[in-house]
Structure 1
């Protein structure tokens, strides 16, 4: 029990339940996932008993981890709470609506009221991407749309998605879409001419 916070250690050693213990906090996304697992488990009898026993231990261990996270200083907390998902969604809006003038990840985290670790964990949990990967994907998606639906020059598009280097843009665009921006635009123009 040496890894437990002193208050928790006393709680687990209090086998006669002589002392009260109360902690108010909000549950994490991991704990929310465990609750969903419980409600969607369909097996019966023996398997159900084993499953619920195992999930009880999983929930207990997750709650201990969350308690230990709760008592850390604000900038050291790492677990993402269900209530913080709205802040992640706010970060998404900032990225989507302000891609041309996007600041650093630290600035984004500060703007939405999360520390960087929580911001990164939230993106990873919700989208399976780091913040940088999400920003890159958003930039490329916007660029592809602009190439296909506008007459903006490639330099203008590079500026509109918040990049400085046309060659870097071409490189990451080709990595993502297996063609260059100019080739994509030419192929779209050919298709448009054929359909006319």
Structure 2
């Protein structure tokens, strides 16, 4: 077993200590730290970046050769940590307590701890781990408009003006966050554009995590059940099927059969994942595919309508206008005009 101790929650210090313990290749570009490792410790990448708001992102995408214990210290002002596990699992406990909790695939977690409390994270050997942590500093005091800053509002919401205590909340399965993290991984831009895109997606992920927490509290109050990981994974696969083949005559009964879920479970999964019904999701995917074809193909409007699964041009035009604030014909003419002037 390998044990690594981190004495700080500041990204720069974390990477200095990780680099010293794991070796590997450390690079820093526009405050984005990347540690690539391929040695006796493990193989993969650890990435971190801090934004001016006092919010940081730390990502592990690695497979450790041996079991790894990460001991993370805190200060007089311990941060609030929002975690999401995209792959594998990680076990957490507080140094002063014996109880452990496990964060698994597609689950969210919110962690607070007492001043100077140490957090113990355990990673199993041979398991591919992908986990993202958004760390909100509670020692961050912006000079201007403090009470309107995102950092301040998060502190007020979760600490309510009191001293931080040992607490870890493990949330329900959430696939929308997985999609946003994959978008983070897909960013190819560099420099300030890359930084802005990362920060924007981090804020969206943070919003989803906070909303998940609120939804879970509401669901607990109503004593409603949660979907299992297997059921949410089935919903994700059905979503991919619709996204890849929007033109097919999808119906709730057939999609439920493919997913191995009841129609009610399928609808609940789509509400949780996409915030909408199955039918509305299909309609939205078809309209977006239609917009893409109008912009990138030589098809006329009627051809586009039928190629994405609609049977009525007038209906397509109606919902297209609702989404894009213009008719398909106007949109196509605008695209052609832009192409000619380019």
For this structure pair, what is the TM-score category when the shorter chain's length is used for normalisation? 0.5 to 0.7
Based on CA coordinates, which of the two structures has the bigger radius of gyration? 1
Q: Which residue in the other structure is 2:242 paired with?
A: 95
Q: In structure 2, what is the equivalent of residue 171 of structure 1? A: 318
> Aligned match of 1:41 in 112, 135, 148?
112
User: Structure 1 residues 124, 42: closer, same or farther in 2, change over 3 A?
Assistant: farther
Equivalence for 2:301: 154
Count residues with an aligned counterpart: 146
Aligned CA distance change for structure 1 residues 41 and 47 (closer, same or farther; 3 Å) = closer
Q: 1:136 aligned to 2:207?
A: no
TM-score by length of 1: 0.64
1:167 is paired with a residue whose SS is helix
> Any conservation in 1 of the 2:293–2:299 contact (CA below 8 Å)?
yes
Gaps of 5+ in 2: 1-104, 118-162, 172-215
Residue correspondence of structure 1 range 111-130 to structure 2 within 5 A: 111-130=258-277
Unaligned stretches of 5+ residues in structure 1:
1-28, 70-78
Q: Per residue, is there more strand in 1 or in 2?
A: 2
Point out the more displaced range, 90-99 or 147-156: 90-99
Separation in structure 1 between the aligned mates of residue 253 and residue 293 of structure 2, nearest angstrom:
28
- Determine helix, strand or coil for the equivalent of 1:101: coil
Q: Secondary structure at the match of 1:192?
A: helix
Alpha-carbon distance in 1 for matches of 2:308, 2:231: 27
Deviations 1:24-71 (A, max 9, x none): xxxxx99x44xx12xx2246596526x569x9xx99x96xx68xx6xx
C-alpha RMSD of the superposition: 3.2
Where is the helix percentage greater, Structure 1 or Structure 2? 1
